[in-house]
Chains A and B, each alone.
Chain A
Amino acid sequence: LQLQESGPGLVKPSGTLSLTCSVSGGSISGSSHHWGWVRQPPGKGLEWIGSSYYAGTTYYNPSLKSRVTVSVDTSKNQFSLKLTSVTAADTAVYYCARQTPSVAHIKDWGQGTLVTVSS
Chain B
Amino acid sequence: DIQMTQSPSTLSASVGDRVTITCRASQSISWWLAWYQQKPGKAPKLLIYKASTLESGVPSRFSGSGSGTEFTLTINSLQPDDFATYYCQQYNSYSSTWTFGQGTKVEVK
Count of B interface residues, CB-CB < 8 Å: 27
The 9 closest A-B pairs by CB, nearest first: A104-B91, A109-B43, A105-B49, A48-B98, A59-B96, A104-B32, A46-B100, A105-B34, A45-B103
Asked if A46 and B44 sit within 8 Å, CB to CB, the answer is: yes
Chain-B contact segment, one of A12-20, A22-30, A79-87, A95-103: A95-103
- Given A104-B34, A104-B50, A106-B89, do A99 and B98 touch, yes or no (CB 8 Å)? yes
**A109's closest neighbor in chain B, by CB?**
B43
Residues of chain B touching chain A, judged by Cβ–Cβ distance below 8 Å, are 1, 32-34, 36, 38, 43-44, 46, 49-50, 53, 55, 87, 89-91, 93, 95-103
Determine the chain A residues whose CB is within 8 A of the CB of B33 once the complex forms: 104
Determine the chain B residues whose CB is within 8 A of the CB of A105 once the complex forms: 34, 46, 49-50, 55, 89, 91
Count of A interface residues, CB-CB < 8 Å: 24
